[in-house]
Chains A and B, each alone.
Chain A
Amino acid sequence: MIRVMLPQHLRTLAQTGSEIELAIEGQVTLRAVLDALEARYPTLRGTIRDQTTLERRPFLRFFACEQDLSHEPHDRPVPDEVASGAEPLIILGAIAGG
């Protein structure tokens, strides 16, 4: 199972807890994780990535295994620890302003 951690506002919107587990078949990429997340929680569509371009919203970041994955191509496999469920993929709101 893939583990995903959402920022507080998106947990409230999706009415879910601090961590979500997703079953993904095939290669685990950022795109596959986000597709599965939005399929499970349609209310999150448009909140993490643009609905048309599917690009990451500019004030959100992706982290895992102490690495910043925000600028990684979405078709690149996520780290093995994320694919195995040992580590979560963390979706984080960037700090911008006071």
Chain B
Amino acid sequence: MSKVRVLVGTRKGAFILSADGKRQQWEVSGPFFGGWEIYHVKGSPVDPDRLYASQTSGWFGQILQRSSDGGQTWETAGNKFVYEGSPGTHQWYDGTPHPWEFKRVWHLEPSLTEPDTVYAGVEDAALFRSPDGGQSWTELAGLRGHGTGPAWQPGAGGMCLHTIIFDPSNALRMFIAISAAGAFRSEDGGQTWKPINRGLYSKYIPNPTAEVGHCVHHLAMHPARPGVLFMQKHWDVMRSDDAGESWREISGDLPTDFGFVIDVHAHEPETVYVVPIKSDSEHYPPDGKLRVYRSRTGGGEWEPLTKGLPQRDCYVNVLRDAMAVDRLDSCGVYFGTTGGQVYASADSGDTWSPIVRDLPAVLSVEVQTLA
């Protein structure tokens, strides 16, 4: 029988939530690395027992953890992230030049074909690759050095590379996103990059249609349609049908088009999920109601999903890497909150229930669908 394993990163450790395909009874293991911030945990699609975790601390810096048995045991991997060449400067919050400084790994993306190959998106924004299970890391410096780097600026959470997506139909094509620079695409395995932000409009930057400078919060893609991308921007939910060459807004009838997460149904490429959040400074659900919004039309028309979610007095946030879907026949959808809840739906979002209610603030949620 199929199983699912939910990998949860929190402010104070990692947790693994496991269930069979019914997804009703859950086993909770952890905390792993208690007391450390776990920005992201993700498994290899080639070898699901190979997990990678980003463990960070303001005191002790960056640690990379690796498991070869599905998270039962862990070993430290390499943590030396050095920018290629002279790091140079990006813009600071006040627009002045600021030196590039490595701070932490936000996102780990294992290769689609090689369990020992893994990519890391880091703050200050850059992309690193390891060919040896995380032991050594080399920057793919063509991204940071392609020309617009000095114009990138941190978002409120820092200048982070938070999204890495591979095209399953083209081993050389990949997408990344940076807050606040925008989305980029590579057609040569990460050696060179092109900004793909045409159609984005960000009223809070000096040139609202600039080539870079947009605060992209997250990207999502359905593997069967790698040319279609969905984006939750700081404001605006966007869609591209040409691999990022151009974008159009699909916020439609959402109560607010601000949010962090966005994901796509495992079997329905036109079914998209977001969690609208009140902003610019509140960062909690509108009206104290935690609602996932689902569009079955690829955007534009959205329906609130509320069954099982708190509909009063709820003031949590759902951060950018904290939503995922499983690949079971009845698609499961999962998200974690800054209040420590991880909610699951085994029926594509129609109904929800909490797997856990009292974890530390959730930073990331990933799901593995296991045979």
Are A57 and B59 in contact (CB-based, < 8 A)?
A: yes
Chain B residues with CB under 8 A of A51:
79-80, 82
Count of chain B residues with Cβ under 8 Å from any Cβ of A? 13
A52 at the interface (CB under 8 A from B): yes
Which listed segment binds B: A41-49, A66-74, A81-89? A41-49
> Which of B60-68, B193-201, B286-294, B327-335 interfaces with chain A?
B60-68
Instruction: Identify the 5 closest CB pairs spanning chains A and B, nearest first.
Output: A47-B60, A43-B76, A59-B59, A93-B59, A46-B79
A23 at interface (Cβ–Cβ under 8 A)? no
What are 10 A-to-B residue pairs whose CB atoms are below 8 Å? A43-B76, A46-B62, A46-B80, A47-B61, A48-B60, A60-B59, A60-B60, A93-B60, A94-B59, A96-B58
Contact digits for A24-65, partner B, Cβ 8 Å, 1 yes 0 no: 000000000000000000010111101110000101100000
The answer to the question of B89 belonging to the interface, with a C-beta cut-off of 8 Å to chain A, is no
A13 at the interface (CB under 8 A from B): yes
Minimum CB–CB distance from B195 to chain A (whole Å) comes to 29
A13 touches B82 (CB 8 A): no
Q: Is the CB of B60 within 8 A of A57?
A: yes
Contact partner of B63 among A47, A48, A59, A94, CB < 8 A?
A: A47
| B369 CB–A CB distance under 8 Å | no
By a CB distance below 8 angstroms, the chain B residues around A45 are: 79-80
Q: Using a CB–CB distance below 8 Å, which chain B residues touch chain A?
A: 35-36, 57-63, 76, 79-80, 82
Say yes or no: B59 contacts A9, CB within 8 Å: yes
Shortest Cβ distance from A9 into chain B, in angstroms?
6
Chain A residues closer than 8 Å to B57, beta-carbon distance: 9
Give CA–CA (A10, B178) in the complex, Å.
31
Nearest B residue to A50 by beta-carbon distance? B61
Place the interface of chain A in its size category: 10 to 19
Name the CB-closest residue of B to A51.
B80
Whether B80 lies near A10 (C-beta < 8 A) is no
Give every chain A residue within 8 A of B59 (Cβ-Cβ): 7, 9, 57, 59-60, 93-94
Q: Give every chain A residue within 8 A of B63 (Cβ-Cβ).
A: 13, 43, 46-47
Complex CA distance for A64 and B310, rounded to whole angstroms: 53
**CB proximity of B246 to chain A, nearest CB, Å:** 40
With A9-B36, A13-B76, A43-B76 already in contact, the answer to whether A52 and B82 are too (CB < 8 A) is yes
Closest Cβ neighbor of A92 among chain B residues: B59
Q: Which residues of B contact A13 (CB under 8 A)?
A: 60, 63, 76
Shortest distance between the CB of A30 and any CB in chain B (Å): 18
Complex formed: what's the CA distance from A51 to B136 in Å?
13
How far, in Å, is A75 (CB) from chain B's closest CB? Answer: 23
Contacts of A59 in B (CB 8 A): 58-59
Q: Which residue of B has the minimal Cβ distance to A94?
A: B59
Q: Determine the chain A residues whose CB is within 8 A of the CB of B82 once the complex forms.
A: 51-52
Q: In whole angstroms, what is the CA distance A96 to B60 when docked?
A: 13
Q: Given the complex, which residues of A lie within 8 Å of B76, measured CB to CB?
A: 13, 43
A10 to B60 CA separation, bound complex (whole angstroms): 8
Q: Which residues of B contact A60 (CB under 8 A)?
A: 59-60
Q: Which residue from chain A places its CB closest to the CB of B55 in the assembled complex? A: A13
Which residues of A lie under 8 Å from residue B35 when comparing CB positions? 9
Query: How far is it, in angstroms, between the C-alpha of A43 and the C-alpha of B74 when the chains are bound?
Result: 12
Please indicate the chain A residues that have their CB under 8 angstroms from the CB of B62 in the complex: 46
Chain B: minimal CB distance from A48 (Å): 8
* CA of A10 to CA of B57, assembled, Å: 11
Q: How far is the CB of A4 from chain B (nearest CB, A)?
A: 15
Give the shortest distance, in Å, between A47 (CB) and chain B (any CB): 4
Residue of B nearest to A49 (CB): B61
Q: Are A9 and B80 in contact (CB under 8 A)?
A: no
Q: A13-B63, A45-B80 are in contact. List 13 more A-B contacts (CB 8 A).
A: A9-B57, A9-B59, A9-B60, A10-B60, A43-B76, A46-B62, A47-B60, A51-B80, A52-B82, A59-B59, A60-B60, A93-B60, A96-B58
